[in-house]
Amino acid sequence: MSTQKIAIVTGAARGIGSAIAKRLASDGLAVAVLDLTEDSCADTVSAITEAGGKAIAVGADVSDEASVTAAIEKVVEELGPPTVVVNNAGIIRDNMLFKMTVDDWDAVMGVHLRGAFNVTKAAQKHMVDAGWGRIVNLSSTSALGNRGQANYSAAKAGMQGFTKTLAIELGKFGVTANAIAPGFIETEMTHATAERMGVPFEDFKRASAAQIPVNRIGVPEDIAHTASFFISEGAGFVSGQVIYVAGGPKD
């Protein structure tokens, strides 16, 4: 029987999720690259397979329970039981509170919180059966509060509470759960933020970098590196933690 571990990375068609999927594949895991449509996962999957790794594309909406159940079944069938989950899928619907709609609120809660709940719940039995597992949830520095992001900051703070409870409930089965809270990372999401603010992206980057102690903005690989650490065998005594990967201290 193969001893290769199987990971699911959500929102892995692009951005941070894609970088995490590629990193886990180069660490030796087989990776289910999950995003809204199977087609959108093609670039990440081919980058992994061309580098000699193993990956499949899985189309699913994490906010939809039935879609997630079907996705996990596909992973079990095509790769085997998943024991690593990275809850990365995310959206923003930014607006000042007085202009934010209930739909903006529900959409963000649906993808980040219900999505992470759905995927983790469906995968945890495979981790418990294996007596080993790793869960990594994407939070954000916005969890500490950010203008225009009442919905997103609440969801990202929620991811931290969710992570700590998973760590407490699943620890005795050999499962760790940790969260990564990125600062400014260059992806389509931060391009969209600059656009909403009406600032050219290069100016937005320069202004942000000037506020960051290491004097640069982050890249998806910075987050992938931290995910790789949490998932590694040697990190088995690290659980229920939140690491801010933001080029400087946050609290």
Binding mask 16-55 for ligand NAP (x = CB under 6 A): xx-----------------xx---x---------------
Element containing residue 157 per DSSP (H, E): helix 150-170
Query: What does each C-alpha distance from 92 to 105, 130, 163, 203 come to in angstroms?
Result: 10, 35, 21, 21
Residues 64-103 within binding reach of ligand NAP (CB under 6 A): 88-91
Q: CB under 6 A: which stretch of 61-69, 120-128, 199-207, 225-233 binds ligand NAP?
A: 61-69
Interface with ligand NAP includes 239 (CB under 6 A)? no
Active-site residue flag, 152: yes
Q: What share of the chain is helix, strand, coil (3-state, %, to 5)?
A: 55, 15, 30
CA 89 – CA 87 distance, rounded (Å): 6
Q: Which helix (H) or strand (E) holds 87?
A: strand 84-87
User: Annotated catalytic residue: which of 25, 57, 140, 152?
Assistant: 152
Tell me the backbone φ, ψ of residue 138, rounded to 5 degrees: -90, 110
Amino acid at 4: Q
By the rule CB under 6 A, 14 interacts with ligand NAP: yes
Q: Does 160 bind ligand NAP (CB under 6 A)?
A: no
Decide: 112 and 214 in contact? Cβ < 8 Å. no
Q: At what angle do helices 201-210 and 188-197 cross, to 10 degrees?
A: 100
Q: Compare residues 120 and 190 and give the one whose CB is closer to ligand NAP.
A: 190
Determine, following the binding rule CB under 6 A, whether residue 204 of this chain makes contact with ligand NAP.
no
By CB under 6 A, the count of residues binding ligand NAP is 28
Pick between residue 84 and residue 111 the one whose CB is nearest to ligand NAP: 111
Number of residue whose CB is nearest ligand NAP: 15
Q: Per rule CB under 6 A, is residue 185 in the interface with ligand NAP?
A: yes
Catalytic residues: 152
